[in-house]
Structure 1
Amino acid sequence: MTQEPMAHPQIFDHDTLRLRRARRQPDAMFLHDMARDEVEDRLSMVNRVFTKPAIVAPFAEPWEGMLPGAKLVPDSEVIDLKPGSHDVLVHVMGLHWANDPVGQLIQCRRALQDDGLLLMVTLGGQTLHELRSALAEAETYISGGLSPRVAPMGEIRDLGALLQRAGFALPVADVVPLTVQYRDLTHLMHDLRAMGETNTMSARLRKPTPRSLFELANHIYRQNFSAESGKLNATFELVCLTGWSPAESQPQPLRPGSAKMRLADALRVPEGNLPEEE
């Protein structure tokens, strides 16, 4: 008897996520603007002309016009892209909400032609660590327990390993940190709501949170994570992932210590663009 494949845990409630994204405010899209800058910068360093681009993103507006002729689709659980139809695929600001992140990456690889490029930007594990810490301490003090309030996000090593699990060649992961200052906890929470990035975990509490918890969390936050100006520091971590759909023409990995390939060839950039040694 054939067994049904096991369903992935539904960590996130995507119906709620869609509703909250629908209430986003255009003036709160600074993370998407920063992600676009990173994508454009990395694409400018790739020594290749792409003619069949695709962009997977939760919102269309920040990405319109970036890659002429690109097919723009939402970051749904089943990505609306045909197999082998694109030579570059940009997946932005959605992986941290995926219930099956490996499945998202596998779908991206299948949508790429041989030797096609994936460029992905997602939020990393240090994002909002100050908020997570302050809320956890306040809730432990008030109720004696913890509830899911800030979504878990992947660390850079884990995200880089996902590229390999999904079958990408030449995987690279790097981090772009950003610190934003807010007047108080309420200001930060309002901004997250305007971004469509508030808590949509399936296990979240469904009853109102007492005001006293947020007041205590604001005090703890200010005591531990204040800037010299008195405002609250909030960390956002953009993790940039790149990988190539496997192809026979690509360089193959060698035994440790036996590398003979030029760095310029590995990075696919003109040799004159390599950084000079100090």
Structure 2
Amino acid sequence: MARRRMLALQNRPDAPRYLIEDMVEDVIERLDFLRFEPASALVIGDWTGELARNLAARGVKVTAVEPAEGFEEEQPFPFDGFDLIASLGTLDTLNDLPGALIHIRKALAPGGMMIASFLSAGCLPTLRDVMLSADGDQPAARMHPAVDVRSGGQLLQRTLFADPVIDQRPLRVSFRSLDRLVGDLRAQGCGNVLADHAPALGKQALERAREAFAAAGEDGRTVEKFEILTLSGWKR
């Protein structure tokens, strides 16, 4: 549902895309650094199509899929034999992340590489503080759990990827208001995906949250931090 809403919001001319753009750029840089030239690739979750276009320009045969349009990452993939599988911005929302990584590995050809990027632990510290302040004595679960660097490494070992690499990078973005931040999150598919949604903030609580967010910044802008975790590994 969050990704379907994201795709609809992305039809707006001013829709934010900085998270997926950062992930796509990172994949391209990694491939160039490794001088890895796959013959075939599966791209999951890049709704901009930019990574698929870049790979196709290199002569790569690309298959692009989108979870919002029916592709199930928690089920065995209906195809395999890929030299590269890139998953962007989706794995953090799954119930069975180890299972999804196993399916990715099985869909790789021997010697194939996976690159998976998604939002991780440490994201949105200001928003978390603001929501706690607004909720008062009865805090609600307003964000789904996130994977940290250590857990990411354990996941790669558990799912038998060779030569695993795990790294995390921050992306800082400034906002003029809490409402703009929330709008950007929804437009990029980063909303809460917990099955049991927390109750909506009342008018007074929402105003407290807006004031706390503004107070956390200066000169009319508040900087929020996104943490992007990238897992990569090979099928030997």
RMSD over equivalenced CA pairs, Å = 1.8
2:227 alignment counterpart: 237
2:105 paired residue number? 109
Counterpart mapping for 1:77-88 below 5 A: 77-78=74-75, 80-83=77-80, 85-88=81-84
- Find the residue that maps to 2:83 and give its secondary structure: strand
> What letter corresponds to residue 113 of structure 2 in structure 1?
L
TM-score of the two chains, using structure 2 as the length reference = 0.87
Cα deviation per residue 1:13-55 (whole Å; 9 max; x = unaligned)? xxx3243233232531111111111010001011332102111
Query: 1:91, 1:119 within 8 Å by CA — same for their partners in 2?
Result: yes
Instruction: Give the structure with the higher percent strand.
Output: 2
State the AA in 2 paired with 1:244.
W
1:188 aligns to what?
181
Instruction: Point out 4+ residue stretches in structure 1 off by more than 3 angstroms.
Output: none
Identity %: 27
Could you tell me which runs of 5 or more consecutive residues in structure 1 were left unpaired when the two chains were aligned.
1-15, 248-278
| 3-state secondary structure, aligned to 2:184 | helix
CA 1:131–1:74: 2 relative to 1, 3 Å: same
1:121-166 Cα deviation digits (max 9, x unpaired)? 1111111121012101220x2xx21222122211111112111111
2:25 to 15, 37, 41: 37
TM-score normalised to the size of structure 1? 0.75
Change (3 A) 1:42 1:129: same
Q: Which residue of 2 aligns with 1:152?
A: 145
2:170 aligned residue: 177
2:41 corresponds to: 53
Q: Alpha carbons of 1:58 and 1:65: their partners in 2 closer, same or farther (altered >3 Å)?
A: closer
SS state of the match for residue 67, structure 1?
helix
Aligned residue pairs total 224
Output the CA distance in 2 between the equivalents of 1:19 and 1:56.
15
The higher radius of gyration belongs to: 1
